[in-house]
Amino acid sequence: MKRNHDNAVGISREEILNINSSAIIFDMHIDPLVQATLFGYEIEKEHSLDWKPEFWKNRWAWVLFREIVYHDCNNPLFNHVDLFRMRRGGYNGAAFGMVCSPDATDILINIFSTLDIFEKMDIEVDAETIGENFEKSGLSKWLAAIWTSNKGALANQLAKFHELVKDESFIQAKTPEDVYQAKEDSKIAGFPGVEGVHCLQGSQEEQFRQIETLFNDGGVRYITLHHLTGNDAGECGYCPLAPTDEETCLKEFGKQVVRKMHQVGMMVDLAHTNKGGILDACAVQDRLNEEIRKINPGEEHLSIPLIASHTACRAAFEEINSNNGIKLEDYSLRKQHAYFRGLHEASISAIARTGGVIGVMLSPFSLRGEHKGGLEDVAKHVLKIKEIIDDDTECAFKGEDCIAFGSDFDGWIPSIPTGMKDASSLGLLTEALLKAKLHSDVIKKMYGQNFLRAWGDALKAAEKLRALGLTGETQK
Ligand SMILES: [Zn+2]
């Protein structure tokens, strides 16, 4: 007789398949557009794990990072997603990340990776001093500047996205309904998302116009306030080398950008923002609600969901590490940096109170500060985020309605969880979540329902703001 159970806790392959095929699976953040621009990666074609770019297409970067620096990591950095492997994993859609300057990313990651190279050669480096010098030398400002000035990068990635739209197995998701339709039609749906408002150019007025153009013409549906550097909006939450200040508030420009995005229906993504910035960004709608009540005193409170598309949970990171007997102060500087990539409890609560969602990454480095780690860590982060929200008595939303999925596949993450090959291995994540005793209905919410609900709510809120005529700057 054929055995039905594949592991000790009695989770059958059928059960996993059933969840992955019946759930609507939307990954809030994947980055193949960067590889499409850098290496000529063709997202619509199937790739094997030993695929390499052609010799003249930045092959050196591929070889240096994938085969030298991170050679002992599980499928490092990129080549995790294409439409074929996504479909095999049960995907129905994804947000396709775009960064402003892959050139600057190269430089940054270069510097960052130097630490890995030193570590491998057993050479002790004072990373803190490097970090301080990096800041003092003005290098971080210079990086931010070239990052911002590289206008072509964003346009190139956007062009790649619109090439993808021509593929018959792909549809552009302009609304959540398009994702549900894609599932019906066995297609993959997606929209582009921008990392960092420093991608916007010119005066405030011009930048606001660009948000509208990116939404209407580009099809962009979210913008993160930051990427790997601070900018005119405020501080980033995780800078690879330069120290970041957690409590720094959002600048006035940052608040105005959040307000503008709310009005346009462009989701505000806080995946890379510091704690102070996250709390301020979530509070922008309090001011909007005050203005609404001035216009219409009987109006109900308007919740405008903000999201964190690909992130982690700091408390879970701590739990995973203290279970291993490691104290926070004993972390290496790199591990401390990884820790800051995760959201603070207050940030998780603030996002959940807006009805927003928090997507957990599939990067062991962000989940536990090491290059090796299994899918049980992902489950721990998901459960901890759920618990923090459930424990927040001021939050009108339940934890199971705010957890989400944002792998960061192809996002230059040093490794993916042990056992996974690529996006096609998503069944293993389902298995890990079931083992962690997450109910199948909750897993389905996490995979896509929650995000699609939050997206729909953000669009409805934008309509409401426009109907009330709240389209100007904050009234002082
Ligand atoms: Zn990112």
pLDDT tens per residue, range 60-107: 878 887 888 888 899 999 999 999 999 999 999 999 999 875 445 545
27 CA to middle of ligand 1, Å?
13
Tell me which H or E stretch contains 343. strand 342-343
Strand-pairing partners, residue 96, are 30, 192
Q: Span 243-253, mean pLDDT?
A: 88
Question: Could you give the 3-state DSSP secondary structure of residue 359?
Answer: strand
107 CA to middle of ligand 1, Å?
16
Q: Count other Cβ atoms within 10 Å, centred on residue 203.
A: 8
pLDDT tens per residue, range 266-307: 999 999 999 999 999 999 999 999 999 999 999 999 999 999
What is the model's pLDDT at position 108?
A: 56
337 CA to middle of ligand 1, Å?
14
Which bin fits 265, alpha (ψ -120 to 50), beta or left (φ > 0)?
left
Locate 323 and state its tokens: 């279970």
Query: Quick one: pLDDT band at residue 155, thresholds 50, 70, 90?
Result: confident
Locate 130 and state its tokens: 């490097």
What is the radius of gyration, based on Cα positions, of the chain?
21
422 CA to middle of ligand 1, Å?
18
13 CA to middle of ligand 1, Å?
32
199 CA to middle of ligand 1, Å?
14
257 CA to middle of ligand 1, Å?
19
Tell me which H or E stretch contains 336. helix 333-340
367 CA to middle of ligand 1, Å?
14
Contact 266, 227 (CB under 8 A): no
148 CA to middle of ligand 1, Å?
16
Contact 194, 184 (CB under 8 A): no
333 CA to middle of ligand 1, Å?
20
**Cα dist. 348→169, 228, 309, 449, 451 in Å?**
35, 20, 12, 19, 15
408 CA to middle of ligand 1, Å?
7
Query: Does the reported pTM lie above 0.85?
Result: yes
- Residue matched to tokens 């996250």: 278
Whether 142 shows a pLDDT value over 90: the answer reads no
Q: Count other Cβ atoms within 10 Å, centred on residue 198.
A: 22
Check the CA dihedral 177-183-186-187 and report its sign: positive
Instruction: Please give the residue that has the higher pLDDT: either 473 or 130.
Output: 473
45 CA to middle of ligand 1, Å?
24
Q: How far apart are CA 281 and CA 225, in angstroms?
A: 9
Q: How far apart are CA 452 and CA 267, in angstroms?
A: 12
Average pLDDT of the residues of the chain: 88
Q: For the chain, how many residues are written? A: 476
Under CATH, which architecture does the 26-467 domain have?
Alpha-Beta Barrel (3.20)
Q: Count other Cβ atoms within 10 Å, centred on residue 169.
A: 15
Locate 474 and state its tokens: 């904050």
Q: How far apart are CA 333 and CA 241, in angstroms?
A: 9
